[in-house]
Amino acid sequence: MRRDAKPFAPEQNTSFRKVVVTGGLGFVGARVASRLASMENVEELVIFDRVTYAADFRRLGYPFSGKSLPILRGDIRSVSDVSRALEGSDAVIHLAAETHVPRSIVNPELFFDVNVVGTETLLNAARDLGVKKFIHVSTHQVYGSGRGALKETAPLRPETPYATSKAMAEEAVIQAAQTGLNATILRPVTTVGAGQHSEKRIPRLVIEALRRQRLSLEADGRTERSYLPVGDLSAAICQLLCLPSSENLSVYNLGGEERLSDLRVAKRIYDLAGARTGLRFVKEQGSGEPAACLNDKAIRALGYRQNGFFDEELRALYGAYLSRADRLLQAS
């Protein structure tokens, strides 16, 4: 079942000769590339990706309307790699980042290097090469665990190395906008859907259910989080790309319409698995995400409406891992 609201479709009255998607082999990046490939106002689309453990070429199994899709392997921290990728481009959608919170605790240097230095390298090249639009996809985690529905003007209070690195990257974007670059910062809540890496919370719980293991919930499992279908995030990014802007800098929150506790998520996974495998409650350093609630009235004023549902994304994700159940069971 779909929502009756009209999907948030991008206007196509602004043309782009070349759009570069950094991290285009990632969970969100591949969905964005898929949408861009179907847009008539995008002449050329380029994926720029370091091809780390989090990249997956299978995510590009979407129809690309016959449009050429160059994939450039490179590092956003490399001036030469970035210059090669951005040459001739007029728009950049920046999704390349180290993202897993627990790994940021173990190796914060990598996160600051990739997320901050890499963003600065991209911004410098974008200004030098005359890029018309730069969209930086950040995270709700820059707010920390604030109370109430936080607006874009709320102070940033990151609580993990990952969130801090993303807040610092935002500062670099703001500085670039002050020197003339047209930039947009988007702060989405936790995204969910098929193709998500197994280290993330929902895929990990699904895999545990398929292995008939107890589901690992943090603390007492009552912490509530907002979830955003990946299709809605990719739609919002493409809309913001085409949005005319009279200011050099725009900042938008992007929330999710369902706010679920881990216990409720576990029940829905049980329902899909057809069995209750039990629960275990854990507390690992840096394993959680701040549960900030976002006020996203600003992007809704542009016409954005969520079109997907958590349950359908969970079913798609569960089905994808179920198709690989034999390998998952062998690895358990």
Alpha carbon distance 41, 26 (integer Å): 23
DSSP string, 87-109: TT-SEEEE------HHHHHH-HH
DSSP string, 212-235: TPPEEEETTS--EEEEEEHHHHHH
DSSP string, 18-55: -EEEETTTSHHHHHHHHHHHT-TTB--EEEEE---TT-
pLDDT at 27: 95
Alpha carbon distance 128, 257 (integer Å): 40
Alpha carbon distance 306, 227 (integer Å): 11
pLDDT at 219: 84
Alpha carbon distance 96, 184 (integer Å): 15
Residues 6+ apart with CB under 8 A from 220: 281
pLDDT at 13: 64
pLDDT at 175: 98
Task: For strands 258-261 and 45-49, give the pairing.
Answer: unpaired
pLDDT at 148: 79
| Structural element, H or E, at residue 272 | helix 262-273
Alpha carbon distance 75, 251 (integer Å): 26
Alpha carbon distance 10, 8 (integer Å): 7
Alpha carbon distance 63, 180 (integer Å): 36
Domains of the chain: 19-193+229-254 (3.40.50.720), 201-224+259-292+309-331 (3.90.25.10)
Residues in the chain, pLDDT under 50: 1, 4-5, 7, 63-64
Alpha carbon distance 204, 144 (integer Å): 23
Q: Tell me if 209 sits within 8 A of 272, measured CB to CB.
A: yes
pLDDT at 315: 96
Alpha carbon distance 204, 119 (integer Å): 29
| Strand-pair partners of 135 | 93, 184
pLDDT at 63: 46
Query: How far is the CA of 274 from the CAs of 177, 198, 205, 269, in angstroms?
Result: 51, 21, 14, 8
Alpha carbon distance 160, 164 (integer Å): 6
Residues 6+ apart with CB under 8 A from 201: 190, 262, 289
pLDDT at 58: 83
pTM of the model: 0.92
What is the three-class DSSP state of 314? helix
Q: Which has the closest alpha carbon to 227: 299, 324, 286, 294?
A: 294
